């Protein structure tokens, strides 16, 4: 996620952490806690939740707006690193936020074997397509889920455009009745930003401006600049691409280190400059037969 949206979503998420439990199948009443995601050996994840007291598992929760061919590999790498760091099973959840034609590779995950019958690798994340999630539970669940409502499955007899006014009316009613002014402002602005995944700003701005909280919000006023909503989506696409390169490099470093020890600085520098996802994937696979770091780096 681009930095502005990332920070805003994280604020809402941690403010309303229990609200997201039902979305990722955490039993009602179970203990959930935020876990640090800025591990020194890899990238930041979106959110990692510890489950249970004592902790028995963790959920790696990722919000995604665009398809990236390297998403399964990146999720696989982070799942393994989180498992190693926290010492509990990790359940990876990828929440796709914008409707598009499904790519079966995402649900398929990572599966391969080198020698038949002599071990294999299998990793499969859970994929939640928000556009397939029923709307009503988002509107009647925890307040933290409200910004996701415009992205869910609309009633059968309505288009997204037709359903949006009633969705906003219900969100406004709940926020006025149940939220503090600070939380109301934060959730409204999250809702406006996320609606940009389906609507252009000028298309939905009048509907949001009907509610006084949006007209008074400094954060909302900032988002009215031309191109801000579209820029967030484009920034997410660029961030995902860069994130894929970084995750693949980390995979090469991790696999190579287990076989040959930490990569010498000259090899680290060479790998860090590679921005070819397919080559990085081949380098990770080359570790199996390689006899040195030099052979890994020479993989084309």
Q: 0.75 cut: is pTM over it?
A: no
Phi, psi of 121 (to 5 degrees): -110, 135
- The pLDDT tens digits for 9-63 are 666 677 777 788 888 888 877 888 888 766 655 455 568 888 988 999 999 988 8
pLDDT on residue 94: 87
pLDDT in tens, 172-221: 999 989 988 888 888 888 888 888 888 877 777 788 877 755 555 544 55
The domain spans of the chain are 31-132, 135-224, 244-297
């Amino acid at each position: 996620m681009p930095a502005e949206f990332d920070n805003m979503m994280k604020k809402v998420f941690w403010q309303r952490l229990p609200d997201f439990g039902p979305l990722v199948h955490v039993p009602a009443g179970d203990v959930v806690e935020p876990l640090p995601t800025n591990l020194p050996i890899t990238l930041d994840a979106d959110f990692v939740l510890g489950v249970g007291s004592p902790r028995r598992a963790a959920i790696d929760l990722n919000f995604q707006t665009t398809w990236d061919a390297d998403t399964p590999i990146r999720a696989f790498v982070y799942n393994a690193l989180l498992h190693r760091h926290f010492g509990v099973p990790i359940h990876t959840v990828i929440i796709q936020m914008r409707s598009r034609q499904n790519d079966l590779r995402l649900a398929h995950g990572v599966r391969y074997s080198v020698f038949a019958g002599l071990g294999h690798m299998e990793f499969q994340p859970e994929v939640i397509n928000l556009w397939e999630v029923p709307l009503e539970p988002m509107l009647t669940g925890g307040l933290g889920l409200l910004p996701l409502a415009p992205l869910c499955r609309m009633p059968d007899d309505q288009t997204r455009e037709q359903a949006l006014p009633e969705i906003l009316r219900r969100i406004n009613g709940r926020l006025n009745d149940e939220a503090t002014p600070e939380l109301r402002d934060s959730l409204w602005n999250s809702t406006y930003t996320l609606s940009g995944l389906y609507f252009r700003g000028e298309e939905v701005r009048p509907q949001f401006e009907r509610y006084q909280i949006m007209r008074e919000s400094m954060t909302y006023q900032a988002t009215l600049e031309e191109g801000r909503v579209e820029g967030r989506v484009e920034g997410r696409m660029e961030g995902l691409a860069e994130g894929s390169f970084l995750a693949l490099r980390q995979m090469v470093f991790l696999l190579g280190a287990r076989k040959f020890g930490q990569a010498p600085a000259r090899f680290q520098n060479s790998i860090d400059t590679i921005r070819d996802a397919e080559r990085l994937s081949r380098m990770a696979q080359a570790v199996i037969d390689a006899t040195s770091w030099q052979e890994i780096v020479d993989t084309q």
